[in-house]
Amino acid sequence: MEHPPDAPVVLVVEDEPLIQILVEEALSDGGFKSETVGSGEEAIALLEGDSARYRALLTDINVQGELTGWDVARRARELQSEIPVVYMTGAAAEQWNSQGVPNSLLLNKPFAPAQIVTAVSQLLNRTPLE
Amino acid sequence: MEHPPDAPVVLVVEDEPLIQILVEEALSDGGFKSETVGSGEEAIALLEGDSARYRALLTDINVQGELTGWDVARRARELQSEIPVVYMTGAAAEQWNSQGVPNSLLLNKPFAPAQIVTAVSQLLNRTPLE
Amino acid sequence: MEHPPDAPVVLVVEDEPLIQILVEEALSDGGFKSETVGSGEEAIALLEGDSARYRALLTDINVQGELTGWDVARRARELQSEIPVVYMTGAAAEQWNSQGVPNSLLLNKPFAPAQIVTAVSQLLNRTPLE
Amino acid sequence: MEHPPDAPVVLVVEDEPLIQILVEEALSDGGFKSETVGSGEEAIALLEGDSARYRALLTDINVQGELTGWDVARRARELQSEIPVVYMTGAAAEQWNSQGVPNSLLLNKPFAPAQIVTAVSQLLNRTPLE
Amino acid sequence: MEHPPDAPVVLVVEDEPLIQILVEEALSDGGFKSETVGSGEEAIALLEGDSARYRALLTDINVQGELTGWDVARRARELQSEIPVVYMTGAAAEQWNSQGVPNSLLLNKPFAPAQIVTAVSQLLNRTPLE
Amino acid sequence: MEHPPDAPVVLVVEDEPLIQILVEEALSDGGFKSETVGSGEEAIALLEGDSARYRALLTDINVQGELTGWDVARRARELQSEIPVVYMTGAAAEQWNSQGVPNSLLLNKPFAPAQIVTAVSQLLNRTPLE
């Protein structure tokens, strides 16, 4: 699928190389660009530098560094109040009810690549009430 | 409306007496019981003592003590993962996207009493996928 | 609240007298008319006689006779394909996922009267895509 | 139910006196204030004068004057892009799919008073993604 | 992906050649057929000629001719009351609240091809309450 | 698209070879594994043998043997109460309201392959309230 020069950019926070590749390929096949970092600290630095650059956040929960995916998503929403958030997790699903942000989605590992693209698209396509 | 002896109990966290009364009357008119506290610390003590006692949480954001309504809701969900959460706020609505829990509702002040009862009922009636 | 002569009629299937009264009062307070029967067989006879008479079905699961609330709801939907369905149950909630009809709601006992009125209203107000 | 001095105001567009009374009583019972006009022209004049005054619009379709409820709702949304809209109609339901605005609700006459209050509350309580 | 001979046909209204190609390729990759026209007048002529031929409408807002995408969607819904509608727009997003039809989706440009396919599929898969 | 060794497995119940191929290819393109059987009896045997093996059920309504897709879905939900269910049908759509399970989706034939992948992904991604 061709990428128009201005394809939407998804910020990916993931430190496992095999899942990084799977996620990046799935997003690319769907026509998205992606930028991947391995820690919450790096993700927040990018968001604070230019939060308008990113149209969605896709984040693992347990990543390198001190911060979790829960922390990254809260900071992303402080900077861009409606940014779509998709969490990926193998173990922490039951924490989503207390730690997730509203109107986010949770992908339980293992997931199929199509679930990533559908999740990001669903949230971007959500009818804008505003 | 008569209260069956086992009416659902809603935990209310609110420190303004006029709003306490409005909320308690609205819940009572809808057939709910309520227990009201004025600080997050008291709310969490009750939830930790017997979280199964409460079928829903209705919380102001800025209340007495150190904790906010955002804190109380996260702790409530840790203890009872599906408890319905309704926030009431005059000023902090824009924080909901980053600080609220998933599947919660936000009532912007001023609200009508019927909105309280509808919000709690909607969340309790949400079809149980589990 | 006054009842216009043509208030919507809800068919109630419930064999416990105390809950019958609670449900009928709640519906009446909300401006609905109700007709109550104690068995699935009676409910189906009424629906087969004049299904267009009823705008919603509110049914307990375990009632008198051979049939359950699950059976009544399926038959009601065969006769009136979009009729709103609300189940009330104390024990059978986990069966809803396999025995309920689509776009129905389940009220877990004990429930507040307002939950009944909100559930029926929510389903009646569901935006008609057709 | 007591009305706090700052109860939310609903603009009602309805030219049948009996339905005006039913709607106003239902809203008052739910704790809302209402202002009723009988034509679309009057409604639009009020909205253009002070659209921020109204927290929701409840409109019949066929009212006095040249304009329909469909016209009033479009103008209301131009002035206040997220205002909750509830249509009431006996005959024009099938037009909603082509003439209604997004995220609106349609009440088919005859309806129970509780449906009005639930519809307005549902839309006001809709979680603010923004 | 192979196309069964009876793949669903999507009517596309778009006058920018680069976006035409992107949309047609995305739909084809998802297994849909598409027919593209550059003006609202042509779209309405096709819909009036055989509205049952089309399973969904995907329309830009500002296209050639006198009519906008808002006009095309209203006419499509008059002819086929449940047809899924997806709007594509770079500039007119804020008009959707007043000019869109109910149960439609809005894609903000720039969008990824996967968003188109997900939007059309979501609306086609919407559970039929009727 | 590469399949991670632990891709989610979808159980497919379909007895028409051409549709079997279309469905299997669509799921494979989306990164899912699939296992296909041609009768409800075989599907139920697999589910009873190891229901946890399957992350979703995709079933035609009229298949070989005595049982229908409606029967298979009810049994699947008894064994795994939250399993996503997608029905495919050319003729029986109007039965879904009385025979379908809650929170299921119905694909009307003919459908595009992307609709299958989106339907399964939507249900798997549904935010876990529990």
Nearest-CA residue of chain D relative to B26? D1
Q: Residue ranges of the alpha helices (H) in chain E? A: 17-29, 40-50, 69-79, 96-99, 113-125
Structure confidence by residue, pLDDT tens digits, A52-104: 999 999 999 999 999 999 999 999 999 999 999 999 998 777 899 999 999 99
Give the three-state DSSP class for C33.
Answer: strand
C-alpha count within 13 angstroms, C-beta hemisphere, residue F96: 26
DSSP B84: -
**Chains in touch with D (≥3 Cβ pairs < 8 A):** A, B, C, E
Closest-CA residue in chain D for E104? Answer: D102
Interval B46-69: pLDDT, tens:
999 999 999 999 999 999 999 999
Q: How far is C119 from chain B (nearest CA, A)?
A: 7
Task: Using CA coordinates, name the residue in chain D closest to E71.
Answer: D98
Residues F76, F73: Cα–Cα separation, whole Å = 5
Contacts of C21 (CB under 8 A, 6+ apart): none
Distance CA B61, CA B72 (A): 9
Question: CA–CA distance from F112 to each of A115, D127, E11, E128, F31 (Å)?
Answer: 17, 33, 15, 17, 17
Quote the mean pLDDT of chain B: 92
The answer to whether residues B81 and A97 touch, using CB atoms and an 8 Å cutoff, is yes
Condensed to tens digits (0 to 9), the pLDDT of residues F49-64 reads 999 999 999 999 999 9
The residue with tokens 């700052």 is D6
Tokens for D18, please give them.
Answer: 């009996």
Calpha distance E93→E113 (Å, rounded): 18
Contact (CB<8Å) A101/B102: yes
Q: Look at residue C129 in the predicted model and tell me its pLDDT.
A: 39
Neighbours of E53 (CB within 10 A): 12
pLDDT in tens, A27-40: 999 999 999 999 99
> How far is C-alpha E17 from the chain's CA centre?
16
What is the per-residue pLDDT for E1? 45
Q: At B1, is the pLDDT very low, low, confident or very high (cuts 50, 70, 90)?
A: very low
Residue C110: partners with Cβ closer than 8 Å, 6 or more residues away: B4, B6, B7, B8, C90
Query: How many CB atoms lie under 10 A from the CB of residue A93?
Result: 17
**Sign of CA pseudo-dihedral F30, F35, F41, F44:** negative
One-letter amino acid of B113? P
Looking only at the bridges linking them, the beta strands covering F56-60 and F9-13 are: parallel
Burial class for F59, CB neighbours closer than 10 Å (0-12, 13-18, 19+): buried
F5 contact partners, CB below 8 Å, separation of at least 6: none
pLDDT grade, residue B4 (50/70/90)? low
For E26-78, the pLDDT digits (tens) are: 999 999 999 999 999 999 999 999 999 999 999 999 999 999 999 999 999 99
Region B107-129: mean pLDDT is 88
Q: How confident is the model at residue F5 (pLDDT cuts 50, 70, 90)?
A: low
Angle at A100 between CA A99 and CA A106, to 5 degrees: 125
Chain B: give the shortest CA distance to residue F53, in Å.
18
For chain C, how are helix, strand and coil distributed in percent, rounded to 5?
45, 20, 35
Contact F130 B102 (CB under 8 A): no
Q: Which residue of F has its CA nearest to E115?
A: F118
Residues belonging to chain D with any Cβ–Cβ distance to chain A shorter than 8 Å:
81-82, 102-103, 126-130
Q: Which amino acid, residue F1?
A: M
pLDDT bucket at E130, cuts 50 / 70 / 90:
very low
- Assign B70 a pLDDT band (cuts: 50, 70, 90): very high
SS3 E79: helix
Mean per-residue pLDDT of chain F: 92
Give the model's pLDDT for residue E21.
96
Which residues of chain A does F122 touch, with a Cβ-Cβ cutoff of 8 Å?
118, 122
Interhelix angle D113-125/C113-125, nearest 10 degrees: 80
In angstroms, rounded to a whole number, what is the distance separating the alpha carbons of residues B128 and B105? 17
Q: Find where tokens 């727009």 sit.
A: E89
The total of other beta-carbon atoms located within 10 Å of residue B108's CB is: 19
How many Å apart are CA D68 and CA D60, to the nearest integer?
8
Contact residues, chain F to chain A, C-beta under 8 Å: 1-2, 4, 6-8, 29-32, 117-118, 120-122, 124-125, 127-130
**Residues of F in Cβ contact (< 8 Å) with A22:** 2, 4
Instruction: Please list the rounded mean pLDDT of every run of 10 residues in chain C (130 residues).
Output: 74 96 97 97 97 96 96 97 93 87 93 96 72
Residue A2 pLDDT > 60, yes or no?
Answer: no
Peptide bond into A5 cis (omega under 30): no
Sheet with A85-89, side-by-side order of all strands: A33-37, A9-13, A56-60, A85-89, A105-108
Neighbours of A40 (CB within 10 A): 26
Instruction: Answer whether C10's CB lies under 8 Å from C120's CB.
Output: yes
The span from the CA of A44 to the CA of A33, in Å, is 18
Contacts of E124 in chain C (CB under 8 A): none
Tell me the pairing of strands F33-37 and C105-108: unpaired
pLDDT tens string A56-65: 999 999 999 9
At A127 the pLDDT is 52
CB D1 within 8 A of CB D29: yes
A103 contact partners, CB below 8 Å, separation of at least 6: A84, A85, A123, A126, B97, B102, D127, D129
- Residue-level pLDDT at F103: 92
Nearest CA in chain F to A113: F31
Nearest chain E CA: its distance from C37 CA (Å): 27
Enumerate the residues of chain A whose CB falls inside 8 A of the CB of residue B81: 94, 97-98
SS3 C66: coil
Instruction: Output the DSSP codes for B33-80.
Output: EEEEESBHHHHHHHHHHHGGG-SEEEEESS-BSS--HHHHHHHHHHHS
Encoding tokens for residue A64?
A: 């390198």
Question: Is the distance from CB of D86 to CB of D116 less than 8 angstroms?
Answer: yes
Give residue-wise pLDDT tens across range E113-128: 999 999 999 999 975 5
Distance of CA E57 to the CA centre of its chain: 3
Q: What is the token pair recorded at A95?
A: 């924490």
Q: How far apart are CA D7 and CA D28, in angstroms?
A: 10
Q: Give the ipTM of the model, two decimals please.
A: 0.90
- Joined together, the tokens standing for residue C52 give 């267009």
Q: Are F58 and F88 in contact (CB under 8 A)?
A: yes
F84 CA to chain C: closest CA distance, Å? Answer: 10
Which positions in chain A touch B86 (Cβ < 8 Å)? none
Phi then psi for residue B118, to 5 deg, are -65, -40
Q: Is the Cβ–Cβ distance between F59 and F69 less than 8 Å? A: yes
Quote the pLDDT of residue B94: 82
Query: With a cut of 50, which residues of chain D have pLDDT below it?
Result: 1-2, 129-130
Confidence grade of residue B6 (pLDDT, cut at 50, 70, 90): confident
Q: How confident is the model at residue F93 (pLDDT cuts 50, 70, 90)?
A: confident
Are the C-beta atoms of C28 and D51 separated by less than 8 Å?
no
Report the C-alpha gap between A88 and A90 in whole angstroms: 7
| Pick from E58, E99, E53, E108: nearest CA to E79 | E53
